[in-house]
Amino acid sequence: MKILIKIIFPLMLIVCCVGSVFAKIPKVDSFLSDSAEEKDKEYNFPKIISEMKALIAAEPENYEHYGKLAFVYDYIGEYEEEVEVLKLEVKYLPNDMEEKDAVYGNLARAYLLIGQIDEAKPWLDKAKESNPNNYYNLWNLVKFHILKNEFQIAAKELKNLDKINTTDRDVYYDAYSFFVEEIKDKELSVEFFREAVKENPESPLSHRALGTAIRPLSKENYEKNMPEALQEFERSLELDPKHIPTYISIADTYLLLAILFGKEEPYQDALNWFDKGYAIEPSNTRLAYAMGTLHLYKGENDKAIEKFEFAQSNGLETAELRKQLAFVYNNKAYALYESGENLIEGLALINKAIELSPKDGIMLGTKAELLYKLGEYREAYRFIKRALEIEPGHEEMNQDLVMIEEALADKKKLESNVEVIVDN
């Protein structure tokens, strides 16, 4: 069945920055080297914790044991327990130990995660004193000042963070993402990024972040605020005419205008800005992803698939891209089901969608419908039952279940009649 397109634009915006920032955390032997999937499948966390506590009981002054246990607590999201363990790790750190800043920073981060903001500050200060160039600790210091609404200080720290940044991260967009995910106050985000632009006016990143903050994500005040947002984006391009994320932001601005108000013209404006970005860097995967999203909203499944697959095959691997690609595979497969044409192609597409999103009931339902139309009633029944376990109240799928059950009954009746004829 077709998945209705919802406004998922905020997530599309966030994907333009690299993954989340985490503090440097000690290893738990081979545990750290395994993938998240392997950890969840192979590790008995209560047993690991029990074994680590036994080691601590035997060697209570061995700081390394506390660091390893803290990592496990961090992985499973038990941050209050992590705080208590890290406090003990700090207590037993050797005086001559190098990289104390990592441990201090871990404790500060854990305090932030449990909402004890003020308790984090002394450890952030100690971490900065120990190593003023620890990227992760400086990022948590920025978050601390944002959470305290100390925007001038946060803007200064963000500028310092940008100076030591040696990766392709956009620290200003990371800060914008932090507002979207944690604070959710548009007015405060605009106030902060105005301070960021004042502090670092020659940065294209600060202007892009301010433009994004000014632009609403709903109808209210969108058209009123849009010119000022575009002005900031244009200033960003003046400072760096080859900054692809800004081209994406401008295109996204027109795309959202089209989506929110049901207008067709802004789609072309968005495409024009995407084309400008392509003229500079045709192989940019995030540009392809953003353009794929435009085609998705326009219902252009083939073009959307082309762009999403290009982004994925060239190294862009995010949860949101996987979700969007599964979404568009499903919708094209359902269109083929409705038309009754190229059903084998539709089955191949829905298999790809399910591989990307194996627990999506709608996609399992689409596979059931395709199997039904192919006459594979038993397999269709198996998949519609799985789909309804996930989406028990889905009206269309319940109707499909009745349809498939009737087809199975008719098939059994026909097979019985054939057997009777053969016996006679």
Contact 320, 15 (CB under 8 A): yes
Q: How many CA atoms lie within 13 A of 347 on its CB side?
A: 17
- The average pLDDT across 120-129 equals 96
> pLDDT for 176-192, tens place per residue?
999 988 888 888 999 99
Domain 25-133 is found in CATH 1.25.40.10 = yes
Q: What is the torsion angle, in degrees rounded to the nearest 10, for the CA atoms of residue 257, residue 263, residue 267 and residue 269?
A: -70
Which amino acid is it at 106?
N
How many Å apart are CA 229 and CA 81, to the nearest integer?
Answer: 43
**Mean pLDDT taken over the chain:** 88
pLDDT at 219: 87
pLDDT at residue 35 is higher than 80: no
Q: What's the DSSP call for residue 61?
A: T
Most confident of 22-36, 141-155, 167-181: 141-155
d(CA 86, CA 104): 9
pLDDT higher than threshold 80 for residue 48: yes
Res. 101: pLDDT tops 80: yes
The pLDDT > 70 percentage for the chain reads 88
Angle between helices 135-147 and 117-130 (to 10 degrees): 150
| Residue 305 pLDDT greater than 70, yes or no | yes
According to DSSP, residue 300 is labeled -
Predicted confidence (pLDDT) per residue in 328-380, tens digit: 999 999 999 999 999 999 999 999 999 999 999 999 999 999 999 999 999 99
**Is residue 22 pLDDT above 60, yes or no?**
no
Q: Token pair 């799985």 is at which residue?
A: 386
CA distance 155 to 152: 5
CA-derived radius of gyration, the chain: 27
Nearest to 236 by CA among 203, 197, 194, 188: 203
How many angstroms separate the first and last alpha carbons of the chain?
Answer: 44
Instruction: Please tell me the predicted confidence (pLDDT) of residue 233.
Output: 98
Distance CA 3, CA 297 (A): 12
Dihedral class, residue 281 (left if φ above 0, else alpha if ψ from -120 to 50, else beta): beta
Is residue 169's pLDDT more than 80?
A: yes
For range 209-237, the mean pLDDT? 93
3-state secondary structure of 284: coil
Contact of 212 with 13, CB cutoff 8 Å:
yes
CB 329, CB 305: distance < 8 Å: yes
Residues 6 or more apart whose Cβ sits within 8 Å of residue 203:
159, 162, 172, 197, 239
Domain assignments of the chain as residue spans, ordered by start? 25-133, 319-424
The lowest-confidence range among 92-96, 273-277, 302-306, 385-389 is 92-96
The tens digit of pLDDT for each residue in 408-419 reads 988 787 766 655
Residue 329 token pair: 């595979």
Instruction: Specify the DSSP class assigned to residue 77.
Output: T
Please give the pLDDT value at position 4: 62
Q: In sequence order, which residues have a C-beta less than 8 Å from that of residue 17 and are 6 or more positions away?
A: 169, 170, 173, 174, 177
- pLDDT tens profile 265-302: 999 999 999 999 999 999 999 999 999 999 999 999 99
* Residue 296, amino acid: L
| pLDDT confidence band for 5 (50 / 70 / 90) | low
Q: What per-residue confidence (pLDDT) applies to 32?
A: 46
Q: What is the pLDDT of residue 415?
A: 66
Q: 180: which DSSP letter?
A: I
- 371 phi, psi to nearest 5 deg: -65, -40
Give the pLDDT score at 1.
Answer: 73
C-alpha span between 277 and 293 (Å, rounded): 15
Q: pTM of the predicted model, to two decimals?
A: 0.82
CA 117 vs CA 23, 108, 223: distances in Å: 16, 8, 37
Q: Which CATH architecture has domain 319-424?
A: Alpha Horseshoe (1.25)
- Which pLDDT score, from 0 to 100, does residue 419 have? 53
Residue with the bigger pLDDT between 2 and 27: it is 2
The stretch 260-266 carries a mean pLDDT of 93
Q: Where are the alpha helices (DSSP H) in 264-394?
A: 265-280, 285-297, 301-313, 319-339, 343-356, 361-373, 377-390
Predicted confidence band at 104 (pLDDT cuts at 50, 70, 90)? very high
In whole angstroms, give the CA distance from residue 303 to residue 289: 11
Which residue carries 């009123």 as its tokens? 224
